[in-house]
Amino acid sequence: MARFAGHQKRRFAKKRRSLTVAHDALAEGMREEAVALTSGTAYIAVIDRTHPFSRRRPFGGVPRLPIQTRTGRLVRAWRTMRRGNAKLLLNLSPEGKFVLAPGGTRLMRARGFWTELRKRYLRRRARFERAIAKD
């Protein structure tokens, strides 16, 4: 019986390690998705001229996502941070709190960033869970 208990302990330790590695890979994949959603290439001159995301006089010529790159700080500021067993996705740029605001701001319409990122996360997590279930 002692051999079986030792085997189970080793098996669970191995499973925990593989889950941690897979969880870290999932978090890194979500950071890459966030970078992709903030790496748009629309012409900045068009955005400056038309103000497509204004609440006052919106102009619909530019898609809301991906968010356009102006200085690159928004793209470079994505970080993953471990908090206990969880990993957090943070953007540390000064403009991030305005551009990425879930409901937009007083003057700017919402971009739908977090909604789209959540959809992508749920798809990745479903694949992750299917892969873990096979083990």
- Domain regions of the chain by residue span: 2-134
Q: Is this model's pTM higher than 0.85 or not?
A: no
| Among candidate residues 68, 71, 36, 39, the one with its CA nearest the CA of residue 53 | 68
pLDDT digits (tens, 9 = 90+) for 67-125: 988 889 999 999 999 998 899 999 999 999 999 999 999 999 999 999 999 999 999 99
**Average pLDDT for residues 3-14, to the nearest whole number?**
82
Percentage of the chain with pLDDT > 90? 51
pLDDT of residue 39: 93
Average pLDDT, the chain: 88
Structure confidence at residue 121 (pLDDT): 95
Which of these, 134, 124, 130, 128, lies nearest to 33 by C-alpha position?
124
